[in-house]
């Protein structure tokens, strides 16, 4: 099957991508003290040099004391931290690439190193890390307001540093997603309630605050998922109507592009149609969407965290869906972590040169 669909330009607002490939955000924990290093800049620049359309950085923490669960994940606040990000942006631009930071707050999530604790209390909607599991206390009104403005400040800084877009991490059971999730959002104020529209209020307020800072033309992406790291089977929208309400709220609040996270892109979202999550999101909202999940690899990324390897897999199914317009962009995670040249190799038809995924790739910033 022709790979042309993957190499058509994509134009949206101020974003002009040479092709449809996106580097998926991947936490690497190679930024000691929360400051991205020259090696981090070079790592992203290598992907830019090799035709990645848009690089979305690893999650980077907004200015709340416990926005990150690991001191080696880069922060997105503070003078040294932002200077370091400027070096990353410049390195990517020097190779002709485009880059967006993934703005992140982990919420009520255990630290990776049990010996390390964040320099302040955990934030969460209701003091739960998963349904029924207490973890700290719920945020006060003032803390919620401060978290919203922390995201907005980060977006403003991203634009000032020269990033080409921003992505909000609203997926995978982290803070924004904890507000979406009925199982852990038990608030009885305006940020909680029995409907997905009510529980989307936190995300919507962030999007509005971000939009106010960056202006109408600056591309704002939000990453969302039905699944949670705390529960792979969790679903925020069981019906098309709920999905429409949820995503409609985000788009109305200022989201331009929906990055729809799945573990396997080919899995249908609802019975009776082969459309995946990104396919439904585009159909219901009309805004551009990004798909992701096991593109070009045989196994999924949760298995990868357990040490499983994967082999290169055909792109035909993906290309068919992209070609018929199910979604606009395709995010690639592990294949690009493993091999900075993945996009170039695919473009040149060098399929025999594509690499296996190995868990060793996680240990180096190659």
Of 15, 24, 62, 214, the one binding ligand FMN by CB under 6 A: 24
170 sits in which H/E element: strand 166-172
- Choosing from 332, 343, 346, 354, the residue that interacts with ligand FMN (CB under 6 A) is 332
State the burial class of residue 29 (Cβ atoms within 10 Å of its Cβ: 0-12, 13-18, 19+): middle
Q: How far apart are CA 208 and CA 212, in angstroms?
A: 6
Return the range that interacts with ligand FMN (CB under 6 A); candidates 130-138, 144-152, 196-204, 330-338. 330-338
Please report how close the Cβ of residue 310 comes to ligand FMN at its closest, in angstroms: 8
The verdict on whether 218 is a catalytic residue reads: no
Quick check: 291 binds ligand FMN (CB under 6 A)? no
DSSP 27-60: -----GGG---HHHHHHHHHHHHTT-SEEEEEEE
Cβ 293 to ligand FMN shortest distance, Å = 5
The piece of 35-43, 281-289, 295-303, 313-321 that touches ligand FMN (CB under 6 A) is: 295-303
Residue 105: what are its φ and ψ, rounded to 5°? -140, 120
Instruction: Please tell me which residue in 43, 44, 122, 174 is annotated as part of the active site.
Output: 174
Q: Residues 235, 226: contact at Cβ < 8 Å?
A: yes
Of 27 and 185, CB closest to ligand FMN: 27
Report whether 58 contacts 25 (CB < 8 A). Answer: yes
Using CB under 6 A as the binding rule, whether residue 334 contacts ligand FMN is answered as yes
With helix as H, strand as E and coil as C, how does 125-164 read?
CCCEEECCEECCCCCCHHHHHHHHHHHHHHHHHHHHHCCC
- Minimal distance, residue 296 CB to ligand FMN, in Å: 7
Token pair 């929208």 in the structure block, residue: 237
Residue selected from 64, 105, 187, 223 as contacting ligand FMN according to rule CB under 6 A: 223
How far is 116 from 360, CA to CA, in rounded Å? 24
292 binds ligand FMN (CB under 6 A): yes
Contact call for residue 47 and ligand FMN (CB under 6 A): no
The reply on whether position 227 binds ligand FMN by CB under 6 A is no
Shortest Cβ distance from residue 263 to ligand FMN (Å)? 6
- Going by C-alpha positions, the residue among 51, 56, 52, 49 that lies closest to residue 102 is 56
Residues 171-210 close enough to bind ligand FMN by CB under 6 A: 171-172
Report in angstroms how near the CB of residue 27 gets to ligand FMN at its nearest.
4
Alpha helices in the chain (DSSP H): 38-49, 79-94, 141-161, 175-180, 196-199, 201-214, 240-253, 277-285, 301-305, 316-323, 334-338, 342-347
52 binds ligand FMN (CB under 6 A): no
Contact flag: residue 97 with ligand FMN (CB under 6 A)? no
How far is the C-alpha of 55 from the C-alpha of 332, rounded, in Å? 10
User: Residue 210 in 3-state DSSP?
Assistant: helix
Residues 127-156 that bind ligand FMN (CB under 6 A): none
CB of 195 to ligand FMN, least distance (A): 25
Q: Which residues are catalytic?
A: 174
User: Could you list the residues that contact ligand FMN (CB under 6 A)?
Assistant: 24-27, 58-59, 102, 169, 171-172, 223, 261, 292-295, 297, 300-301, 304, 332-335, 362
């Amino acid at each position: 099957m022709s790979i042309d669909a993957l190499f058509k330009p994509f134009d949206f607002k101020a974003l002009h991508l040479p092709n449809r490939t996106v580097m998926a955000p991947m936490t690497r924990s190679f930024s000691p003290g929360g400051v991205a290093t020259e090696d981090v800049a070079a790592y992203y620049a290598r992907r830019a040099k090799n035709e990645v359309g848009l690089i979305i950085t690893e999650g980077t923490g907004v200015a709340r004391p416990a926005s990150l669960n690991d001191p080696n994940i880069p922060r997105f606040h503070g003078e040294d931290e932002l200077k370091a990000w400027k070096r990353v942006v410049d390195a990517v631009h020097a190779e002709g690439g485009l880059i967006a930071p993934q703005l992140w707050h982990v919420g009520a999530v255990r630290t990776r190193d049990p010996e390390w604790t964040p320099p302040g209390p955990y934030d969460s909607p209701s003091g739960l890390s998963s349904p029924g599991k207490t973890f700290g206390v719920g945020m006060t009104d003032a803390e919620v307001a401060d978290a919203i403005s922390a995201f907005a400040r980060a977006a403003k800084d991203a634009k000032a540093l020269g990033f080409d877009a921003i992505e909000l991490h609203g997926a995978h059971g982290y803070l924004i997603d904890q507000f979406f999730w009925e199982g852990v959002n038990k608030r009885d104020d305006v940020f909680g309630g029995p409907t997905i529209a009510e529980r989307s209020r936190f995300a919507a307020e962030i999007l509005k605050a971000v939009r106010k800072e960056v202006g109408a033309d600056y591309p704002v992406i939000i990453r969302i998922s039905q699944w949670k790291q705390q529960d792979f089977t969790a679903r925020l929208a069981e019906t098309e109507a709920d999905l429409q309400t949820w995503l409609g709220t985000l788009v109305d609040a200022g989201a331009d592009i929906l990055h729809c996270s799945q573990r396997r892109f080919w899995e249908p979202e609802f019975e009776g149609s082969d459309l995946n999550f990104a396919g439904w999101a585009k159909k219901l909202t009309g805004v551009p969407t990004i798909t992701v999940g096991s593109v070009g690899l045989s196994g999924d990324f949760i298995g990868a965290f357990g040490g499983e390897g994967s082999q290169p897999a055909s792109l035909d199914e993906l290309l068919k869906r992209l070609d018929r317009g199910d979604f606009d962009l395709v995010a690639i995670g592990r294949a690009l972590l493993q091999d900075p040249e993945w996009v170039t190799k695919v473009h040149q038809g060098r399929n025999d040169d594509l690499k296996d995924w190995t868990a060793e790739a996680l240990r180096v910033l190659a």
